[in-house]
Structure 1
Amino acid sequence: MVTSAILVGAVMGAMGISYLSERFGRRVSVMVVTAVFVAGAVACSRAPDVTSLIIARVFLGLAVGGATQVVPTYISELAPASKRGNLVTLFNVAIGVGIFLANLVGFTMRDAWGWRPMISVAAIPAAFVFICMFFLPKSPRWTAENEGLASAVEQLSRVRTSRKVIRREIREIHENASDIDESERGWKGLMLPFARPALVAALGIAFFTQAGGLEMMIYYAPTFLSDAGFGNSAALLASLGIAIVYLVMTLLGCLFVDKIGRRRLVLIMGPGSVLSLIGLGIMFAIHPDKGSVGSWMIIAFLLLFMMFNAGGIQVVGWLLGAELFPLPMRAAATSVHAAMLWGADLLVTATALTLVQLVTLGGTMWVYAGVNLLSVIFVYFFVPETAGASLEDIEIALRRGEFKPKVGQDPRIRSYDAEDAEEVGFTTTTA
């Protein structure tokens, strides 16, 4: 209950932040969720009993879900197309840093501090981000729609150095925003037929990102390893190793996702996740003796799974939701995307221990291997390559019905010029 409570709040926070993001902007929304982070961390650390702790964790989850909706969107709308993948996936790297630091604190300070100071420390980075947001620009795309092009130029000028680049990007934003149909705004826009392929791709990749077993490994690895015969210290140390692998692989994924591509990265790394989980299930099924080669194979397969999963679908899953949807419906779409991420995480977290009791620990690994195999198949048939395409290119591809990858042909979304934009109803007036 304590572990899953934050995920319940995350689902609610992800769904609820879209109004705030659309009404007051991405930057203000980030400031709100960081304030909730501070209050939630303090409330958790001072909880007098288990019930109060669960309630405080649900409140803290509101910030977790809200942040995962608005932060990738904010970054994607500030980033140039050629570096959007790198910059949005820095969000994943930050998560990896947080997981690593949490495990490091848990391993080294478990006796000296106790759990209350460990949790209260989480308020410090949240407060730091809150202060920093005062000095960062607004999203130029949100600003163009809500405050006008002059203000958008001012905001974009804070993150671009070339006037030529600014003029071209503002022209694209203007062409995109000047002919917005009111029926495409918010939640009702997600129901439109042309947006359906993006919705299927984003929600599918979100589900498989969390349902593949990685979050379960992060939460319950010490429990599983202790049950497999490892001592408590060894289990916590292995958990620290998992956090290091996650951090390193998300950093590498951040560096190469724009060069390799989103789709290709999952198709390369996904089969490795499947084979690692099959091997891990076999090791758990044969119950190797403590200190034997088999027991070390458990650690090896566990780290290999983390390597393939964290370096593949974990990088892409958080990125695609921020770049697939047109501006009028982007806040609502990213809310649904984030809610699916946390909902799938909640499903896995809440059922992991029960699943182990039903089909054994080895059988559980094989179930997750099947989920990872399905994720590779899903990406192959439903997710085109978006690397190198601007947010406006992706929108045009959706409107022209060219978003679904053509299996056996080039699955990438191509760049479109002004004539292409005119064909799908955009104006070409120079800003």
Structure 2
Amino acid sequence: MMAHASRATGGRASPESVLVAFAGGAIGIIFGYDLGSVAGALPSIVREFGLSELEAGWVNGVIVSSQIPGALAAGKLNDTLGRRWTMIAIAASYAVVALLQAISPNVVMLDVVRLVLGATIGVSMVSAPLFVAEISPARLRGRFVALYQVATVGGIFITYLVNYFLSFGDHWRIMLGLAAIPAIIVLGCLMVLPESPRWLILNGHLDEAKRVLTRTDPEADLELQIAEIEREACIETGRGLADMVRPAYRRATVFVVCLGVFAQITGINAITYYSPIIFTELGFRAPGQSLALPSIVQFCAVLATIASLSIVDRLGRRITLLSGLAFMAAGALVLSLVFGLGGGSRGAGSWTGFAAVLVFTCAFNGGFGSVVWVYSSEAFPVRLRAIGASVMLVSALLANLVVADAFLWAASALGMAFVFAFFTAMALVALTFIALRAPETSGRSLEEIRTSWQVNG
């Protein structure tokens, strides 16, 4: 077998690669904060602008409608502008959008601004993990990319805290505008960070790519790493969707599309979006419980996601994914049984249900939620990596729309027990799929991973 550019398992990360991971994580914090901040701001927005239920729903839903176009555009933007300049544009957009939300004089402007925010979120969900993956040393790539999920979950948790402390009064403009602060900070970091060496080589900037690799991964065999990237860049010529279904990439394409669907169809956002309703159905009806309990769950999810950083590179992607899915299936099954047996009426049944929600959420964020970004950024050659990440995200967003739109209807018409039995089944299907199809990519260079997809396809 040929030697590979980066197989080291020890050593320190360079300052530049740590800063890249920090920048990707900061984008995740902004994304998580923006997703959750409107929940606390919406009651005040409704009062100030005198909105109907339909108008209030659109303030929240407009973001979802524009995430898919943003995700579709992300691949082209990353290939045309470069990974770094796309990230700079994202950070600048987040800052401007946050400030415009805070000064919106009417709901029309607010909706337009939030439409742009949704597109920015769609682009950032592809770009941040991609940027981090292409610059990080192979031995650290898993935990650096997974840091994005830690930051996203952390951003949602921060939102809960901010919403609580600013809920005493109509401070919705401050809630929405605060997202500008981390956006400006990460914009400053990005201005001093390098471009992805793989994008540089792809676009003929070899000398600059060598300088970047020397700074970001000084322990790697520079000449061998350059040779691998150049060989891949010379062999592959396609950059479009049609190229992703060619025999050489079909296995990777099917895998990341299914990964995106399973990430949502297993039910995580049903709990995220509707946890107050779920906890109320479990019997938690005292004032404040429907807000306090999701905060506890989200805090524990942050801890679980942080814990995943220590295992995703050491134990590997497969074990992290499979163990997370197993616990998700167990949590969903317990919830189905609690609702099916009528245990959601206070007492032991209620707290058993709460524990099941906690296990499910922590298992997702510490397993599936962390690794899905790692796999999507590793599965394709450099020319298709950005568009491949876009395809994964679009599949996840479409599945998310189905779950978000159907959950309340299914819970009402078929019952909570049926809904969580369905999520249990989906988690088991995902577990089987991952066990059969997911390769182990920990510690391997991106070019070596790409070859393994073809050899094993």
TM range (shorter): 0.7 to 0.9
**Partner amino acid, structure 1, of 2:74:** I
Partner secondary structure for residue 291 of structure 2: helix
Among residues 223, 231, 244, which one is paired with 1:190 in the alignment?
244
1:207-236 residue CA offsets vs partner (Å, 9 max, x unmatched): 111221112212211232234432341111
Among residues 29, 32, 41, which one is paired with 2:98 in the alignment?
41
CA distance in 1, matches of 2:257, 2:302: 24
Partner secondary structure for residue 257 of structure 1: coil
Within-5 A mapping of 1:2-401: 2-47=59-104, 52-112=109-169, 114-162=171-219, 165-177=221-233, 179-182=234-237, 184-230=238-284, 231-288=286-343, 291-400=346-455
CA distance in 2, matches of 1:398, 1:84: 18
**Partner amino acid, structure 2, of 1:347:** V
In the superposition, the TM-score normalised over structure 1's length comes to 0.87
Provide structure 2 residue ranges, at least 5 long, that are not aligned to the other structure: 1-56
Q: After alignment, is 349-358 or 69-78 more displaced?
A: 349-358
Q: After alignment, is 210-219 or 25-34 more displaced?
A: 210-219
Q: After alignment, is 285-294 or 339-348 more displaced?
A: 285-294
Partner secondary structure for residue 367 of structure 1: helix
- Tell whether the 8 Å contact from 2:149 to 2:365 is kept in structure 1 after alignment: no
CA distance in 1, matches of 2:71, 2:185: 22
**Partner amino acid, structure 1, of 2:417:** G
Q: Give the root-mean-square deviation of aligned CA atoms.
A: 2.0
Q: After alignment, is 358-367 or 84-93 more displaced?
A: 358-367
**What is the deviation of 1:46?**
4.1
Report the CA distance shift for 1:146/1:232 in structure 2 as closer, same or farther (over 3 A): farther
Partner secondary structure for residue 311 of structure 2: helix
**What is the deviation of 1:290?**
5.4
Q: After alignment, is 371-380 or 361-370 more displaced?
A: 361-370
- Tell whether the 8 Å contact from 1:13 to 1:66 is kept in structure 2 after alignment: yes
- Tell whether the 8 Å contact from 1:7 to 1:343 is kept in structure 2 after alignment: no
- Tell whether the 8 Å contact from 2:338 to 2:344 is kept in structure 1 after alignment: no
1:163-194 residue CA offsets vs partner (Å, 9 max, x unmatched): x63333222222222x2343x22333212111
What percent of counterpart residues are identical?
A: 28
Corresponding residue number in structure 2 for 1:417:
none
**Partner amino acid, structure 2, of 1:146:** N
Corresponding residue number in structure 2 for 1:414:
none
- Tell whether the 8 Å contact from 1:186 to 1:331 is kept in structure 2 after alignment: no
1:247-288 residue CA offsets vs partner (Å, 9 max, x unmatched): 111111122111111122222221221121111122234444
**Partner amino acid, structure 2, of 1:171:** A
Report the CA distance shift for 1:199/1:280 in structure 2 as closer, same or farther (over 3 A): same
1:328-379 residue CA offsets vs partner (Å, 9 max, x unmatched): 1112111111222222222222222222122122222222111111111111
1:298-317 residue CA offsets vs partner (Å, 9 max, x unmatched): 21111011122222211211
In the superposition, the TM-score normalised over structure 2's length comes to 0.82
**What is the deviation of 1:112?**
4.1
- Tell whether the 8 Å contact from 1:4 to 1:350 is kept in structure 2 after alignment: no
Q: After alignment, is 278-287 or 188-197 more displaced?
A: 278-287
- Tell whether the 8 Å contact from 1:212 to 1:368 is kept in structure 2 after alignment: yes
**What is the deviation of 1:59?**
1.7
**What is the deviation of 1:387?**
1.5
- Tell whether the 8 Å contact from 1:262 to 1:386 is kept in structure 2 after alignment: yes
- Tell whether the 8 Å contact from 1:137 to 1:158 is kept in structure 2 after alignment: no
Report the CA distance shift for 1:15/1:384 in structure 2 as closer, same or farther (over 3 A): same
1:130-153 residue CA offsets vs partner (Å, 9 max, x unmatched): 221101110000011114211101
CA distance in 2, matches of 1:359, 1:335: 34
- Tell whether the 8 Å contact from 2:92 to 2:183 is kept in structure 1 after alignment: yes
Report the CA distance shift for 1:350/1:37 in structure 2 as closer, same or farther (over 3 A): farther
- Tell whether the 8 Å contact from 2:133 to 2:377 is kept in structure 1 after alignment: yes
CA distance in 1, matches of 2:447, 2:114: 38
- Tell whether the 8 Å contact from 2:82 to 2:199 is kept in structure 1 after alignment: yes
CA distance in 2, matches of 1:284, 1:50: 39
CA distance in 2, matches of 1:284, 1:305: 16
Report the CA distance shift for 1:239/1:352 in structure 2 as closer, same or farther (over 3 A): same
CA distance in 2, matches of 1:301, 1:390: 38
- Tell whether the 8 Å contact from 2:324 to 2:366 is kept in structure 1 after alignment: yes
CA distance in 2, matches of 1:267, 1:160: 30
Report the CA distance shift for 1:116/1:370 in structure 2 as closer, same or farther (over 3 A): farther
- Tell whether the 8 Å contact from 1:65 to 1:342 is kept in structure 2 after alignment: no
Report the CA distance shift for 1:348/1:50 in structure 2 as closer, same or farther (over 3 A): farther
CA distance in 1, matches of 2:106, 2:271: 27
Q: After alignment, is 101-110 or 14-23 more displaced?
A: 101-110
Corresponding residue number in structure 1 for 2:49:
none
